[in-house]
Chain A
Amino acid sequence: MSTSVSEPKAATAIRIADVCKNYGDYQVLKNINAEVARGEVVVICGPSGSGKSTLIRTVNRLEEINSGGISFEGQNIHAPMRGSELNKLRSRIGFVFQSFNLFPHLSVVDNVSMSPIRVKGVSADVAHDKALKLLDRVGLADKANSYPGQLSGGQQQRVAIARALAMEPPVMLFDEPTSALDPEMVGEVLSVMKSLAAEGMTMLCVTHEMGFARDVADRIWFIDAGEILETAPPEDFFKNPRHPRAQRFLADLRH
């Protein structure tokens, strides 16, 4: 963990302040304000097209924003900065994609160890050992030498999680990590995520898995049409959603 002398150790991992984003005339994100505390697990939910992916992708600047700022480890990730500085910040934010995006030309273990070697300059031996440990942790030690194309969706997504963890990020972002999976594989991915949460990882997850949200999340952000309409602990959100659109969203989910 990085500590700095000038700044007291903040309890905030990510602070999103007045973030607006447009695609042409269309405003996808409308003045988003929210915080993720260290060690907190936040689940973002909302109807499709509401801007969940866009929001989570602005956090590691895969998407640019039009105004506002997002601070991570005391730095505004959307401030003008050198490419190398942005790369360094990004390497400290793990990201798991809906479509896995494993590197098909590399074996599973190389998928996991490549970026520590090429980005952080870790030696190949150390990175390889670390990758094997991480693969063991997600239950795929026996697949180290397979290629992504030989794995099931659930296995690929677990490799993708191991790959993100290999950079030792203090924060992990998940964009619908189970939406592209066959139903029988959802559980294996969620259980890896649960164990991460149990170890105290700071997590920001877009997901429709309400069971996961109920069991694991510390807070739910409900987003609709580019606005965060409600943030609440899961028990409150599921029992007494305050916003009418949140009520309708939950009613639709139960059908």
Chain B
Amino acid sequence: MIQDFINIINDYWLLLLIGQYPNGPLGGLANTLILSALAIALAFPVSILMALARLSKWRLLRWPVTGLVYVTRGVPLLMLILWCYFVIPLWTGADVPSFLIMLVTLVIYQGAFLSEVVRAGIVSLGQGQMDAAKALGHGHMSAMRFVILPQALYNMIPSMISTFVSTIKDTTLGYVINVPDLTFAASQVNNQLLTQPFQVFLILAVVYYILCWSLTYVANSIERRITRRRAGPRNARLPAEAAPLKTITEQL
């Protein structure tokens, strides 16, 4: 049994790591990580824009984005993936690679989730910070940039890492549209071996587990450090208000 695992890893580690590359497209674990990292890197600014739009006084900005967030949070990710898979090529008229479709889907999906975290972070700061900035002559955007967002985003760091973890798990769904990621590579291995699905998919699970667990560990230790920094004589209210952020994180 143990020998099976060693043999599989010995024979297929390169495929699991980088897919068919350089003879085919990059895949495997590398692609999973690239897809997740790109998704979160793009979802982050998107989420800030969405949060600002949802807090905007202009209805034309607020309503559509609010609608998008509600819809996105209300449908399963798999629906969204299939939807983009069929709709994006229709709209663009081009043959869009599945990697790109998956990326767009993840950015919308995680952007919508993160925007709720950003919004909660902004709202939890209270009116006082905005008032103080305005009284000093800052406009709305200047106050956001120099006073509100630096605080709200700092509070968000643990949520960001948690979102990264859930993004890694979500990339597995790319399997249904043939995104060449780690899951895809594992199923290729399984197709070649045919007789050892348990061993193959256990290796897959262990890799995902190690990846996600170590990131979660980092997130938790950062969260503890932030809570400790906040727990000084400063604003005894802050630890209590960090709580909703964590709750949102855990829903992801």
Contact = CB atoms under 8 A, between A and B. Distances in A.
A167 B137 contact: yes
Interface of B: 128-129, 131-140, 142, 146-147, 150-151, 154, 230, 232-235
Looking at A115, A147, A167, which has the most chain B CB atoms within 10 Å of its CB? A115
Nearest to A93: B135
A88 interface: yes
A104 interface: yes
B136 A62 contact: no
B218 to A, nearest CB: 22
B122 to A, nearest CB: 14
A87 B140 CA distance: 10
26 contacts: A60-B135, A62-B131, A62-B135, A83-B140, A84-B139, A87-B139, A88-B137, A90-B136, A93-B135, A95-B132, A101-B128, A101-B131, A101-B132, A103-B133, A103-B151, A104-B234, A105-B151, A114-B146, A115-B133, A115-B136, A118-B138, A118-B142, A118-B146, A119-B137, A149-B235, A150-B232
A115 B137 contact: yes
Nearest to B238: A104
Contact of B129 (A90, A101, A152): A101
A99 interface: yes
Contacts of B128: 97, 99, 101
Contact of A90 (B137, B151, B232, B235): B137
Nearest to B145: A118
Given A104-B151, A104-B234, A149-B234, A119 B132 contact: no
Interface in A85-123: 87-88, 90-95, 97, 99, 101-105, 114-115, 118-120
Nearest to B136: A115
Contacts of A92: 137
A148 interface: yes
Contacts of B132: 95, 97, 101-103
Given A87-B139, A103-B151, A119-B136, 19 more contacts: A83-B140, A87-B134, A87-B142, A88-B137, A90-B137, A92-B137, A93-B135, A95-B132, A99-B128, A101-B129, A103-B133, A103-B147, A104-B235, A105-B154, A115-B133, A118-B142, A119-B137, A147-B234, A149-B232
A99 B126 CA distance: 12
Nearest to A114: B146
Contacts of B150: 105
A88 B136 CA distance: 9
A167 B138 CA distance: 11
Closest 8 CB pairs of A and B: A149-B234, A91-B137, A101-B132, A95-B135, A115-B136, A101-B128, A119-B137, A149-B232
A203 to B, nearest CB: 15
A119 B140 CA distance: 12
A90 B131 contact: no
A148 B229 CA distance: 12
B142 A103 contact: no
B232 A87 contact: no
B139 A83 contact: yes
Contacts of B142: 87, 118-119
A197 to B, nearest CB: 20
Contacts of B134: 62, 87, 90
A127 B219 CA distance: 37
B136 A163 contact: yes
A119 B138 contact: yes
Contact of A167 (B136, B151, B154, B233): B136
Contacts of B154: 105
Contacts of A164: 135-136
A57 B230 CA distance: 30
A137 B230 CA distance: 29
Nearest to A102: B132
Contacts of A94: 135
Contacts of A149: 230, 232-235
Contacts of A150: 232-234
Contacts of A152: 233
Interface string A15-51: 0000000000000000000000000000000000000
A147 B129 CA distance: 16
A84 B137 CA distance: 9
